[in-house]
Structure 1
Amino acid sequence: MSELTFANLADKTGQTLGTSAWHEITQEQVNEFAHCTGDNQWIHVDVERAKKESPFGGPVAHGYLTLSLVASLAMSIGAVPAGTAAALNYGLDKVRFLAPVPVGAKVRLHSKLLSFERKDNGQYLMKTENTMEMEGTDKPVLLAETLAILVPGPKATT
C-alpha cells in the first residue's frame, strides 16, 4: 500500500491497512502487565499452578494485554498517516476476546480502515477494525474496533 497521508487516508476506507509481524507473548510480558494492572490472577502468573490446574494447560495472557498490543502493532505496520504528531486513544467498539492466548504463542494484527474524518479542530478521527490472530489457529483471538484521534504535525500533508 502506498504511504498513508492525511490527504489520502479517507480514500482507503474499507481497505486493509496492513498486517503486522508475529509478536511472541512472553511470561515476562504477562508478569509485567500483571504488576502494572494489579491483575495477578494465577492463570496468568503462577506457571506451575496453571500447568496443573488451568483448563488451558498453562499460563495465558490477560485479555487486556492482548488488546493493548493493538496500538503498538498498528503503529508497526504504518497504519497512521505520515506526519502524525500524536495518535491518541479515543475509544473502543465491539471488543471481543474470542480465545485465550497462551504464553509462548505468537500473535499478529490485521487492521482495516472503517472511517477517517476531519474534525472542526483540525484533528482527525480514525476508526479501524482490528483482528488479532494466533499462529497455528484459524479462529481470531481478538476482534476490536478502535477509535483514535490523530493530530497532524507541521510536515503532514492534509
Structure 2
Amino acid sequence: MDDDTFGALAAACPVDLGSSGWRTVTRAEVDAHAATTGDAQWIHNDPERARRDSPFGGPVVQGFLLLALLTELSSGLTFPDVGPVALMVNYGFDRVRFVRPVPVGAAVRLRGRLADVARRDGDRAVLAVDVELEADDDVGRPAVVARWLFLAQGPA
C-alpha cells in the first residue's frame, strides 16, 4: 500500500458502501445465542412472557447477536479498492449503540459508509466504517449504529 492509495481514499471519504441483502433472525438463532452466551433473559427467550409483560409486544433479539451478524452482513457491502492488501482484520469499534429493539423473526440488513482512513506506522491504515443495522419492521430508524474499525496491512 502506498501513501497515494491511502491519501486518495481518505480524500474521497465519506464513501457510500451500499447495503447488504435482508436476513431473517430466527427464534432458533436467538435461543442458540442464549445457550452460548448465557444471555437467556425472558425478554429474548420466553415468547409467552415477552408477549404478556414486555413493552415490545413479544420477544426481541439480543443486542450482541445483532452485533455478531454485522460480520456476515458486511460481505454485502461494496468496499473501494484500497490497493494491495495482505490482511484486513477487525480492529474493534469506536462506538456502538443499540438504538431500538428488533423483534425475533424480523429481517435485518446492513448499510455502510467509509467515514475515515487514518494512516498508521509502516504500510498500515485504520479504516473507520459507519454502519447502521436496519430491520424490516417499518419503524423508520436503525436498530444498531456503530463505527466499526478495520486494520489494513499492506503487502510485506
TM-score normalised by length of structure 1: 0.80
The letter of the residue matching 1:138 is G
**Contact 1:12–1:113 (CA<8 Å) still a contact in 2?**
no
**Contact 2:127–2:151 (CA<8 Å) still a contact in 1?**
yes
- Take 1:32 and 1:79, find their aligned partners in 2: how far apart are those partners? 31
User: Superposition RMSD on alpha carbons, in Å?
Assistant: 2.4
The C-alpha deviation readout for 1:16-75, integer Å capped at 9, x for no partner, is: 111111111111111111122111111111122222222212111011111222222112
TM-score normalised by length of structure 2: 0.81
Q: Aligned ranges for residues 92-111 of structure 1 at < 5 Å?
A: 92-111=93-112
From the superposition, tell whether residues 36 and 6 of structure 1 become closer, same or farther in structure 2 (CA, over 3 Å): farther
Q: 114-123 vs 46-55, which deviates more?
A: 114-123
The C-alpha deviation readout for 1:96-153, integer Å capped at 9, x for no partner, is: 1111000011111110011123422423311011111111221111111111113456
- Take 1:115 and 1:57, find their aligned partners in 2: how far apart are those partners? 39
Alignment counterpart, residue 141 of structure 1, candidates 136, 140, 143: 143
Question: Is 2:21 the counterpart of 1:58?
Answer: no
The letter of the residue matching 1:96 is R
From the superposition, tell whether residues 35 and 10 of structure 1 become closer, same or farther in structure 2 (CA, over 3 Å): same
Unmatched runs of 5 consecutive residues or more in structure 1:
none
Corresponding residue for residue 77 of structure 2: 77
- Take 1:36 and 1:121, find their aligned partners in 2: how far apart are those partners? 39
From the superposition, tell whether residues 75 and 124 of structure 1 become closer, same or farther in structure 2 (CA, over 3 Å): farther
From the superposition, tell whether residues 153 and 98 of structure 1 become closer, same or farther in structure 2 (CA, over 3 Å): same
From the superposition, tell whether residues 17 and 93 of structure 1 become closer, same or farther in structure 2 (CA, over 3 Å): same
From the superposition, tell whether residues 123 and 47 of structure 1 become closer, same or farther in structure 2 (CA, over 3 Å): same
Unmatched runs of 5 consecutive residues or more in structure 2:
none
**Contact 1:6–1:81 (CA<8 Å) still a contact in 2?**
no
Percent sequence identity over aligned pairs: 39
From the superposition, tell whether residues 141 and 89 of structure 1 become closer, same or farther in structure 2 (CA, over 3 Å): same
Q: Aligned ranges for residues 18-29 of structure 1 at < 5 Å?
A: 18-29=18-29
- Secondary structure of 1:76's counterpart equals coil
